[in-house]
Amino acid sequence: MYNCKSMDRNDPGEWLKNLPLQTEDIRFKPEEMVACTKCKRANPPNRIKCFYCGGELVLTDAQSQSLKLNLRKLENWEKGFNVIFLPSSQVFDEAKTTNIAEFLKTEKEVLRRIIASKNPLPVLRAESEREAAIVEARLREFGVETFILSDEELAVDRTTQRLRGIEFYDDRLVLIFFNHEETIEISSSDLALIVTGAVFERRIEATEKYSKRGENVILNQSETVSDETLIDVYSRANCLGFRIYAKGFDFSCLAVEKEMTAKDNIKKLAEKLRRFAPGAKFVDDYVPNRSLLANVWEVEQKTASQGLQRQSFGRFSLGNLTTVNNMAQFTKYSRLQWHLL
């Protein structure tokens, strides 16, 4: 290491002569550059998208190995491709766990818990299918088996049909939709999946002293928390499922098993559905896996302004409501189970 401060700057020739030489050519050779199929401009072979137009580059397998992946955390509204961890008998030592966590840009303790859970869980949400495929290939080199499931396949923007009642018969169910009289029948052999979970919501209402200078001061704040147990049921042909909330459901289908509270009744209903279709997959581990899911599938938070409110002559306050809920997260986890059938 040369100390430039100690060199005689009055003698440029002597100073330049003592500078260390770089003998390695760090540039890519012209024949190594990749031409974008859209804009035709040359790009370095360690990129997945064109530097100029954003188009996806066509790379060889060797070039794909040298890619510098931009594994950024996507926003909830962005469409992505989920890399789902598949449990196996593979043992991961401390060094390998550290390397995998560094590659995925996730906390080592979170990754360790995902592996220990023995459950299929998301470990990354990639920006493109190509990027997800490269992540999948590199994780396979570490001995980690995964599969790719897109947000389009999970279809969280499509509402799960809500039920207000169920009628049990010997070999079939009649599902009664909420708010209209339409029904659908599912045979016991066609009922493929039952997923239980809960939706949690936190509401924070705040009132701020309004100032034209933008220096608002919180006058008061209140917070309420609620939760509701629910059940999703799926036929073999329907990946969106049907949803049962504890509130607004007619539990008369339980007959003599019916309890006094909706909370107890929805547990009884889950048990009855399980007995009705013993061949169906039953999943009840959403709640203990919530924190691990949040590593990739974060809960949604929205803030809405309630506008200016007059407090007194010349004095105004600004109200806003922040809601945090896990509905989209649960829906993704629930529909993931259908894709695992």
**In the predicted model, is pLDDT for residue 191 greater than 50?**
yes
**Is the predicted pLDDT of residue 79 greater than 50, yes or no?**
yes
For range 174-187, the mean pLDDT? 93
For 22-68, CATH number out of 1.10.10, 2.30.30, 2.60.40, 3.30.70 equals 2.30.30
Q: Which two tokens stand for residue 281?
A: 């997959």
DSSP 85-125: EE--S----HHHHHHHHHHHT--HHHHHHHHHHTS-EEEEE
- Residue 191's φ and ψ, nearest 5 degrees, are -75, 105
Ranges of each domain in the chain: 22-68, 72-154, 161-339
Cα–Cα distances in Å, from 339 out to 34, 54, 70, 153? 36, 31, 27, 9
Per-residue model confidence (pLDDT) at position 90: 87
**Mean pLDDT of all residues in the chain?**
87
338 confidence band (pLDDT: 50, 70, 90): very high
Helix axes 129-141, 94-104, angle to 10 degrees: 170
> Can you give the pLDDT at residue 113?
96
pLDDT band at 8 (very low <50, low <70, confident <90, very high): low
Q: What pairs with residue 281 in β-bridges?
A: 193
Cα 24 from chain centroid (whole Å): 43
Residue 1: predicted pLDDT? 47
To the nearest 5 percent, what fractions of the chain are helix, strand and coil? 30, 35, 40
Regarding pTM above 0.85, the answer is: no
- The amino acid at residue 232 is D
pLDDT tens, position by position, 14-60: 666 666 665 555 577 888 788 998 999 998 877 788 889 988 888 77
Contact indicator for 321, 222 with CB cutoff of 8 Å:
no
pLDDT of 311 reads 63
Q: In this predicted structure, what is the pLDDT of residue 149? A: 98
Cβ proximity of 328 and 286 under 8 Å: no
Please give the pLDDT value at position 143.
94
Q: Is the pLDDT of residue 134 over 60?
A: yes
Please determine, for residue 182, whether its predicted confidence score (pLDDT) is greater than 60: yes
Which CATH topology does 72-154 take?
A: Ribosomal Protein L30; Chain: A, (3.30.1390)
**Phi, psi torsion values for 301, nearest 5 degrees:** -130, 130
pLDDT value at residue 145: 96
Alpha helices, DSSP H, located in the chain: 12-17, 61-65, 94-104, 108-117, 129-141, 151-154, 262-276, 286-293, 327-339
Of 65-74, 78-87, 139-148, the range with the lowest mean pLDDT is: 65-74
Query: Per-residue pLDDT tens for 98-129?
Result: 999 999 999 999 999 999 999 999 999 999 89
**Whether the Cβ atoms of residue 94 and residue 111 lie closer than 8 Å to each other:** no
**pLDDT tier at 76, thresholds 50, 70, 90:** confident
- Residue 121 CA to residue 224 CA, distance in Å, equals 30
Predicted pLDDT of residue 24: 58
Whole-angstrom distance, CA of residue 291 vs CA of residue 285:
12
The whole-number pLDDT of residue 2 equals 45
How far from the centroid of its chain's Cα atoms is residue 76's Cα? Answer: 8
Cα 203 to Cα 5, 76, 93, 259, 303: the distances in Å are 60, 19, 42, 30, 10
